[in-house]
Amino acid sequence: MSALTAQRYALGRAVAMVRDRPLAFLLGVALVAIALALPLAVASVLWAARPALAQVQPAPEVSVFVSIRAATRDVDALKGRLESIPGVAGVTLQPKDAALAQLIKRSGFVTTPAELGANPLPDVLIARLQLPVSEQSLDAVTTTVKGWPLVDSVRSDLDWYRKVRALARLGTTAFLVFGGLVVVLVTLILVGTVRLHAGTRADEVAVLELVGATPRFIVRPYAYSAALTLALASVLALAAVFAAHAALRAPIANLAALYGAPFALPDPEPIHVLAVLAGAVILGWAVGVVGARAAVSGR
Amino acid sequence: MTPATPPAHPPPLVSFDRVTKLYDGDRAALTDATFTLNRSEFVLLTGPSGAGKSTVVRLVCGLEVPTSGQVVVAGEDIARMRRRALPFLRRSLGVVLQNLMLLNDRSVLDNVALPALAAGLSHADARERAQAALARVALEPAVRRVRPDALSGGEQQRVALARAIVNRPALVLADEPTAHLDEAGALHLLQLLEQFVVAGVTVMMATHGEAVPLPARARVLRIESGRVLR
């Protein structure tokens, strides 16, 4: 019963504190909401685009150029042998006839493959490797395949793969740093605000200490107040994210259609919305406790 | 084995043993003070302004720690107590400081109920106790809903006293409680404090005013220039 009473008292005091300074409270909520809205919007768009990004994310490939002397059954045998190598996720054949037809089509020559006589292009087997791939395992596959009969040459795109991966890592790190800085910024602003606020209520703190209130009892209203601030700010930030999604949905769909990629921007998932709200409340509570304790201990 | 026998004289509620309190490193507010407060005793701490009376009150309720010597309250050495234990000791004390420290952002009733809430009582019980405490200090029910700054000095003094007794403390400390009262108000307050003593409460009242009529049951401790005179 006493724990419930203490919580009720703290919540009542937090609401009273908001009532006492509504403008400052609303300004604080708006400031935090703006700070949170940007990383949340970026995160939600990235999350929504995740399936599309996964499709374009390359897996390293090894291209095996088969000798032009190889017959169809030789190519099929090579394909089977390639598929049996550990770490190879799949092998696709790019037939030399299809490659020649595509070359003629792209070059704009008005000729037919039959007029060229013998097809000068090789069949190409493209082996896609399982992720993650180390440089050593890729080298091992390349070296092994190079020694096979009827294989002219072998090339891997490890460098390209590495560059794309590095770019993706850079983007992820930049986003995490940016998001982390925003959270740190919000935390510092709120700690400072709570500390100042508790400082202006030094008389109340002194009375509470005099009558035997525990530090927990003293700081709890500030924890509620900060949790309320962050919860409301995150609701506003999420509303902004939903609004941004609604505004961007049609233009993004149009752009994606122009590239022949069906991509729709969905709203944030309910579980993510709940996670953001819960995180905001927990962070707000912690920030309130830290700020108020700093004010009380510094008296 | 011999059964333990209760002590003939219970230990004092408060004891000061060669207590010195220095401010700013060298300004002595209290020097080598040794005295005790017994249970159900009315002690008047008298002396001129700046003599060190408030320092004694602040030392007893743990708002200060002695520079040297030992202050023991209800068996606890104030200087050696863990900070976490201090609130629980303070709940057994009722304190009225010179600055009454009433909160003007809430009603009289809420001011008085605050120590009970802080002690963990339910909202209803705390308000019930607050009503009883306000009745004990004879404050009209009509003023209980107003804010303290709407009351006269004497009424505010009684609100502070009601807040001090709401947790039914073993010791009431009152620092210059009659300072802003007229003679009738001071007399009434002293009668109230005497009633507490009769009910088993120890009362220590600091005062510099000679105008205060000394209660017949009171023991007087005179303090001058930080020294307690016998």
Residues B99-134 pLDDT 10s:
889 999 899 999 999 999 999 898 899 999 999 999
Cα(A194)–Cα(B13) distance, integer angstroms: 39
- State the CB neighbour count (10 A cutoff) for residue A109: 11
pTM of the shown model: 0.72
Please name the member of A8, A20, A213 whose beta carbon is closest to the beta carbon of B118.
A213
- Beta-carbon separation of A214 and B103 below 8 A: no
Query: Chain A contact for B101, CB < 8 A?
Result: yes
Bridge partners of A125, per DSSP, are: A64, A93
- Of A51, A52, A58, the closest CA to residue A131 belongs to A58
Which residues in B38-121 belong to E strands, given as ranges? Answer: 42-46, 68-73, 76-77, 93-96
Confidence of residue A110 (pLDDT cuts 50, 70, 90): low
From the list B28, B33, B31, the residue with the least C-alpha distance to B15 is B33
Quote the pLDDT of residue A115.
67
- B16-32 CB burial, b ≥16 within 10 A, e <16: beebebeeeeeebbbbe
Domain boundaries, chain B: 10-92+171-230, 103-168
Inform me whether the pLDDT recorded for A56 exceeds 70: no
| pLDDT above 70 for A111 | no
What pLDDT score was predicted for residue B95? 92
B68 in contact with chain A, both atoms CB, cutoff 8 A: no
DSSP for B197-221? HHTT-EEEEEE--TTSPPPTT-EEE
Would you state the pLDDT for residue B134?
93
Q: Is B95 near chain A, with CB under 8 Å? A: yes
Q: Is A15 on the interface with B (CB under 8 A)?
A: no
How far separated are the first and last CA of chain B, in Å rounded? 42
Q: Higher pLDDT residue, A282 or A141?
A: A282
Give the separation between CA A271 and CA A282, rounded to whole angstroms: 16
ipTM confidence: 0.86
Distance CA A270, CA B17 (A): 66
Residue B7, CA atoms < 13 Å, CB-side half-sphere: 4
b/e burial code for range A133-157 (CB count within 10 A of at least 16 → b)? beeebbeebbeebeeeebbeebebb
Q: Do A210 and B95 touch (CB under 8 A)?
A: yes
Report whether A45 contacts A265 (CB < 8 A).
yes
Q: Of B90, B105, B121, which has the smallest distance from its Cβ to A2's Cβ?
A: B121
Q: Any chain B CB within 8 A of the CB of A16?
A: yes
Q: How far is CA B93 from the centre of its chain?
A: 7
Can you name the residues that pair with A153 across neighbouring β-strands?
A65
Is residue B226 classed exposed, middle or buried when 0-12, 13-18 and 19+ CB atoms within 10 A define those classes?
buried
- Phi/psi for A125 (5° steps) reads -100, 125
Query: Cα A153 to the chain's mean position, in Å?
Result: 39
Which residues in chain B come in under a pLDDT of 70? 1-8, 209-212, 230
The alpha carbon dihedral of A223, A226, A228, A230 has a sign of negative
Position A241 scores a pLDDT of: 92
Query: Could you say which architecture CATH assigns to the domain B10-92+171-230?
Result: 3-Layer(aba) Sandwich (3.40)
Q: Is B123 on the interface with A (CB under 8 A)?
A: yes
Q: How far apart are CA A251 and CA A263, in angstroms?
A: 11
Q: Collapsing DSSP states into helix, strand and coil, what is residue A246?
A: helix
pLDDT higher for B134 or A137? B134
Tokens of A261: 């990629």
Q: Say if residue A1's pLDDT is above 50.
A: no
pLDDT recorded at residue A175: 87
Rounded alpha-carbon distances, angstroms, from residue A208 to A205, B111, B166: 5, 10, 14
In terms of CA atoms, which chain B residue is nearest residue A8? B123
Region of poorest pLDDT, from A65-69, A198-202, B117-121, B213-217: B213-217
Rounded CA-CA distance B157/B53 in Å is 19
Q: Parallel, antiparallel, or unpaired for β A61-66 and B227-229?
A: unpaired
For residue A56, give the 3-state DSSP assignment: helix
**What is residue B215's predicted lDDT score, i.e. its pLDDT?**
74
Q: What is the chain B residue with the closest CA to A297?
A: B83
Segment A80-108, tens digit of pLDDT: 988 888 878 888 888 888 888 777 777 76
Backbone angles phi, psi at B70, to 5 degrees: -135, 130
Question: What residues contact B11, with CB distance under 8 A and at least 6 apart?
Answer: B75
Nearest Cα residue to B160 out of B141, B173, B145: B173
Subunit contact B87:A20, Cβ cutoff 8 A: no
The CA–CA distances, whole Å, from B198 to A39, B42, B166, B174, B218 equal: 68, 9, 17, 17, 12
For A74-84, what is the mean pLDDT?
88
Q: How many residues does chain B have?
A: 230
- Domains annotated for chain A, with CATH where assigned, are 2-55+164-297 (no CATH), 60-156 (3.30.70.3040)
Give the residue-averaged pLDDT of A173-184: 89
